[in-house]
Structure 1
Amino acid sequence: MARIRPDWNPDLLRMQREEIGLTLEDTGEKLREIAERHGFNIAANFQTIWSHEKGSVYPGPHYRRAYCRLYHRNEAQLGFRKALPGEEAPMESTAAPASTQRRLPNQPDAVHQALRSIREGTDDVDSELLRNRVLNAWRHGAAASSTDGPVVILVGGYAGSGKSEFAKFLGGLTSWPILDKDSLTRPLVDQLLVALGGEAHDRSSALYRDKVRPFEYRCLMEAAWDNLDCGISTILDAPFIAEFAQADWMQRFQNRCRSKRVSVAPIWVECDPESMREYIEFRGAARDAWKMESWDEYISGLDLKMRPQGPHFVVDNRLGAAVALVDEARDVLSGGGL
């Protein structure tokens, strides 16, 4: 609600709609088209849009992402939140001249802008080199030749940080296979926990951490090596909390990759606690039940300043800023627009 979101200005959402001459019904139709194109979970109608513009209901994460795609603005420009440093802020005038209305960028510009979210986390990595590897695969296909051999990208971060969205974006651009830890192992992990006397969706107990998690990650890494041994660049999607925090683990992995002429790109996706909570609550996964029920205890156990040990990259997804750029690039690549 507005009273607990002091940075929310719902009038800006209405102003954007009126500026381009859309009715509430038109807006709902276009939001539904965007949702279908992007896989957003919304069922927009004029009552819902009216409640958003009146400030009685704060739009959920998928609604906000859809609004951003419809109006070609970021969340700050639509009044959902304050602007991050360097981010475009809301326009001061109530109606911008047609010449200043934002147009979708061309495909290369949109992809470059989204990839610029990847920055150096340490001085011994080169974000431009990694971006060029991704761009080369996008332009020439996953089998694009490289004298440097395959690359393995490890996309990690806390639950709800946006790591899976970013990993999927990289995979969609490059056509490199994505190995998602949960997709690979969840059914087996659930049954193993039950067989050991635990609960299927438990991800917080010592039983899971000590008896199950090590094998979960072992399965993920073995599947990755199968690809890499065949010269196939691969993207891994998992929290990697314990792994990234261990300098020895990181060094052993780097050494094994170097021996096989495989380049390594660990990416840590940063996010703020409120955004993580919103996305965890929104997805409603059974494995997140304890996090939601004991949020203060859960969040107090996270090191929000954590960075991977050794060479790594960082994506700043605070307030969903990086994922918003990903959404724009996807929109451009799919030919989306009004």
Structure 2
Amino acid sequence: MQNSESALPPPATSDLAAKVIEQSLTRVAQAVSDAEQAGLLGRVLDAWRGRNGRDAPAPTLVLVGGYAGSGKSEFSRYLSEITGWALLDKDSLSGAMAERLLLSLGGDPHDRHTELYLREVRPLEYRCLLETAFANLRAGTSAILSAPFIAELTDPRWTYRLTDQCTAMSVEVTIIWMRCDVASMRRHIELRGAPRDAWKLANWDAYASGLDIDNSPPSAHITVDNRFGAAISLIHQTGDKWQRILK
């Protein structure tokens, strides 16, 4: 029977895969500053190396925000595959609860735009997401949160409270915004066929007119440019490449 150390990739192979990952993230991620980009890259690569027999870093909280269909879930999954960090997707975590609660309130289970949803359900979804994240962080497990975070990331007070809470726990925070063009977002939404998107598609012009696709929220540390699916296409190619290296 092989021991755990002999099952690990050879150091040179692991380092080559890490280099491929570093190059791909550098190409798709536009940081507010070199320090922000270097910080995220360092933590991601430390986590990668930790999964390959080296010391794991302190916990990290990554928020991946963006409009519906911008590529949040795929990018979050990519980061999770590299790092082994817990992936917490808002819709997966609380979607069934949101539908049941909306029904109990006399609403449409697939409503994501009315005052009923925004007032009674949405706050609970984000509360569930963040409480689950902090349960992981307190256990020393880094977490990646995938959710729109539209209102949150435009509210400096919300970002300050989150950062302050993480600082008290010695947790690093990185906020990533997925930028995407309207046509690509609509195509992604149509392809996934989720009932919660029915209102958006039926009222596309009104919905799209309210999107600020040219600017990232002021609290975002890093922007991933996924216009025309460029970033997601690249990370798929990169994933195939580094997985082949490790075979």
TM-score by length of 2: 0.87
Give the helix-richer structure, 1 or 2: 2
Distance 1:125 1:311 in 2: 14
Q: Does the Cα contact within 8 Å between 2:65 and 2:178 map onto a contact in 1?
A: yes
Aligned position for 1:74: none
How far apart are residue 159 of structure 1 and its match? 0.5
From 11, 28, 45, the equivalent of 1:135 is 45
Q: Report whether the alignment pairs 1:257 with 2:161.
A: no
How far apart are residue 335 of structure 1 and its match? 2.3
Gaps of 5+ in 1: 1-105
From 173, 183, 196, the equivalent of 1:287 is 196
Q: Report whether the alignment pairs 1:144 with 2:63.
A: no
Q: Does the Cα contact within 8 Å between 2:176 and 2:220 map onto a contact in 1?
A: no
Root-mean-square deviation over aligned CA pairs = 1.8
Distance 1:164 1:216 in 2: 17
From 8, 14, 24, the equivalent of 1:114 is 24
Aligned position for 2:96: 187
How far apart are residue 119 of structure 1 and its match? 2.3
Gaps of 5+ in 2: 1-15
Q: Does the Cα contact within 8 Å between 1:114 and 1:329 map onto a contact in 2?
A: yes
Distance 2:152 2:108 in 1: 24
* Residue identity matched to 1:332: K
Distance 1:183 1:311 in 2: 23
User: 1:182–1:169: structure 2 CA closer, same or farther, 3 Å change rule?
Assistant: same
Identity rate of aligned residues, in percent? 46
Paired positions, count: 228
Residue 186 of structure 1: SS of its match in structure 2? helix
TM-score by length of 1: 0.64
User: 1:125–1:241: structure 2 CA closer, same or farther, 3 Å change rule?
Assistant: farther
From 324, 329, 336, the equivalent of 2:233 is 324
Residue 334 of structure 1: SS of its match in structure 2? helix
Task: Give the number of the structure with larger relative contact order, counting CA–CA contacts within 8 Å between residues 6 or more apart.
Answer: 2
Kindly name which structure, 1 or 2, has the bigger radius of gyration based on alpha carbons.
1
Aligned position for 2:81: 172
How far apart are residue 124 of structure 1 and its match? 8.2
Q: Map 1:1-338 to 2 at 5 A.
A: 107-116=17-26, 117-120=28-31, 122-123=32-33, 125-141=35-51, 144-146=55-57, 149-310=58-219, 312-335=221-244
